[in-house]
Amino acid sequence: MLNILSQADWIDRAKSVLPGGGLGNFDPSVFIRDGKGSRVWDEDGREYVDYLIGSGPMLLGHGHPEVLEAVAEQLPKGMTFFANNARAVELAEEICNAVPCAEQLRYVSSGGEADMYAIRLARAFTGRDKVIKFEGGYHGMSAEAQMSLAPSKLVNFPQAVPDSAGIPDSVRADMLIAPFNDPDYIRSLLAEQGDQVAALIVEPLQRIIPPEPGFLQLLRDEADRYGIVLIYDEVVTGFRFSYGGAQQLYGVTPDLATLGKVIGGGFALAAIAGRADIMAHFDKSAVGEDKWLMQLGTLSGNPVAAVAGLKTMEILRRDGQYDRLRANGKRLMQMASAALDVQEIPHRIVGDPTLFEIVFTTSPVRDYRDVFRADNARAARFNAVLMQNGVFKSPGKTYPSLALTEEDFALTGAAYLKGAAAIA
């Protein structure tokens, strides 16, 4: 007799073997059993429209048949080799053709790993130690990245606040924190310490907050002025905002970019891409032992992830894909705002049609502190009601996908109305 376990059973089992009862990524009380197209099902069989989509990589939806076919063709040929493989080279060629800053790239397995190496690469290239990041910016789990990501205590800039235990004070000393979208502050900070700064790392869309007009160009100009490596964290925005990423959409090119999520087609794959003279520090024969940056990874550039990424990118190049993705996002934004307007609930829809969120505030949202001061208890209640009504999403982001159907929009619109009524 088939033994079918409930979600509650799995929660109990997880608590004995996983710290906190989960993987550390999401609500540990949620166990997803299946995903197909725009939908996911939990272990109790409840069905949801999926706006989490694996935290971004499933842009085509779950189990796209062409991606599955490409993966199935590769699997009997080998899953990983720790040696060069042709599929990884083909994917690198396509990324370098698509992304403005990408002359060369190096593969890793996660976006956080890519960010860590990008910062180290900037230090190797410049011979400097200090790094500027923006308060609220997410760049993975390295010690540098875990500074002022989500501080509960707001301190004076440029002081860094560690988000995790186990980070030495020496790391904090080399991190400078700035407010996003504040040109005057970044100018003044660089006037004082610019000649000590190796890297300026930024999400071109910081979580959900768009750059104000001219802000990214200011960062480009100031980085050039002080000889700083400008890094775009495009792990989320790469191949989502446009085929060339946020740097193509916004028209400002960094020196390095980190990529992930979409380029692996649902498998573990990420990359650091950028100028050849900076990327040369991965090549000992080009820069010498003293300036060489060691990097290796067991699964980096594995052929299964590479073929999944290649097929995903081939589909994204087809006519009308980005127009449709943006139309899907705009429709969701309009439905959410209309539902909240009926109840006269103050809110802002913040972000880009390809990635956005509702912020419950009457004030403009320009940086982390504007989100921090919003009515986040109301947001939590709203998201809980959405979940109860078949909408699965992150607490802080909505990821539209290309798999959404008319039925999905109808279900989501009804959930928005119920969520708005519940928090009115």
Q: How far apart are CA 264 and CA 308, in angstroms?
A: 6
Question: Cβ atoms within 10 A of the Cβ of 20, count?
Answer: 9
Give me the helix-helix angle, 303-316 and 65-74, nearest 10°: 150
Q: How far apart are CA 66 and CA 264, in angstroms?
A: 14
Among 252, 271, 253, CA closest to 261: 271
Q: Which residue has the tokens 């992830």?
A: 305
Please state the separation of Cα 104 from the chain's center in Å: 21
Collapsing DSSP to helix, strand or coil, 176 comes out as strand
Burial class (CB in 10 A: 0-12, 13-18, 19+), 41: middle
Q: How far apart are CA 31 and CA 174, in angstroms?
A: 40
User: CB–CB of 323/402 below 8 Å?
Assistant: no
Q: How far apart are CA 120 and CA 138, in angstroms?
A: 17
DSSP state, residue 160: -
User: CB–CB of 118/133 below 8 Å?
Assistant: no
Q: How far apart are CA 388 and CA 48, in angstroms?
A: 9
Count CA within 13 A, CB hemisphere, residue 85. 21
Active-site residue list:
138, 233, 261
Q: What is the CA radius of gyration of the chain?
A: 22
